[in-house]
Amino acid sequence: QVQLVQSGAEVMKPGASVKVSCKASGYTFSAHYIHWVRQAPGQGLEWMGWMSANRGGTNYAQKFQGRVTLTRDTSINTAYMELSRLNSDDTAVYYCARQDVALDDWGQGTLVTVSS
Amino acid sequence: EIVLTQSPATLSLSPGERATLSCRASQIINNNYLAWYQQKAGQAPRLLIYGASSRATGISDRFSGSGSETDFTLTISRLEPEDFAVYYCQQYGNSPWTFGQGTKVEIK
């Protein structure tokens, strides 16, 4: 079965960068896009962007342009989301999700807390 | 950017009742690429419906989706205790992908 396992919770200082990993199993990693979605405490879902696991192409939401970088390592079936210049508004649970017909499978989420 | 507006914000119903959730788009969604997700507290979202009306794998037939262009509906025919959750619509026909703000279905 498809599984997306994300890295553990992070506490970061304002201005720092965070890199969250998403290890995929149970399917052909390079055959699907990986998306990243975040959810601030008590809030709704916010789409950040996608990455083609095959060619590495990316598409970012304008809000995150210049601050987010999506990458992958196909040798270990792992996708990464790096967010730079963190501020308190970036405190959220970050999810990776596999695109098939829509966002079919999701990671368990990674809580990133930005605090001085 | 397509804005999705969900209504109502909260739906208070009893088990066994029918739930009707609305999602309205600010522009026509290409190919009716509209999905619905269920999210329970502390859990990741789960895909219920894609392409406006197709049920995802393993989803009960109590869940149905309908609509086209800018107006979409998720119907839960008879609410079971496990259906009380937050529901989000999402469009993936236009970039950037966007989500609605969610409808909470709570026990009355």
**pLDDT of amino acid B63:** 98
**pLDDT of amino acid B30:** 93
**pLDDT of amino acid B15:** 97
Please give the Cα distance from B87 to A74 (Å, whole number).
33
**pLDDT of amino acid B99:** 98
The dihedral of CA B38, A10, A58, A48: what is its sign?
positive
Which pLDDT tens digits describe chain B residue by residue (108 residues)? 999 999 999 999 999 999 999 999 999 999 999 999 999 999 999 999 999 999 999 999 999 999 999 999 999 999 999 999 999 999 999 999 999 999 999 999
**pLDDT of amino acid B70:** 97
**pLDDT of amino acid B85:** 98
Question: Chain A to chain B, count of Cβ pairs less than 8 Å apart?
Answer: 57
A113 CB neighbour count, 10 Å cutoff: 15
Give B-chain residues touching A109 at CB under 8 angstroms. 44
Give A-chain residues touching B99 at CB under 8 angstroms. 37, 44-47
Residue B55, sorted as left (phi over 0), alpha (psi -120 to 50) or beta, turns out to be beta
Task: Write the residue in B44, B47, B98 that is nearest to A95 by C-beta.
Answer: B44
Please give the Cα distance from A22 to A34 (Å, whole number).
9
Q: What is the mean pLDDT of residues A27-42?
A: 97
**pLDDT of amino acid B9:** 98
**pLDDT of amino acid B33:** 98
**pLDDT of amino acid A47:** 98
**Residue pLDDT, tens place only, A54-79:** 999 999 999 999 999 999 999 999 99
List residues of A whose CB lies inside 8 A of any B CB. Answer: 35, 37, 44-47, 50, 59, 61-62, 95, 101-104, 106-109
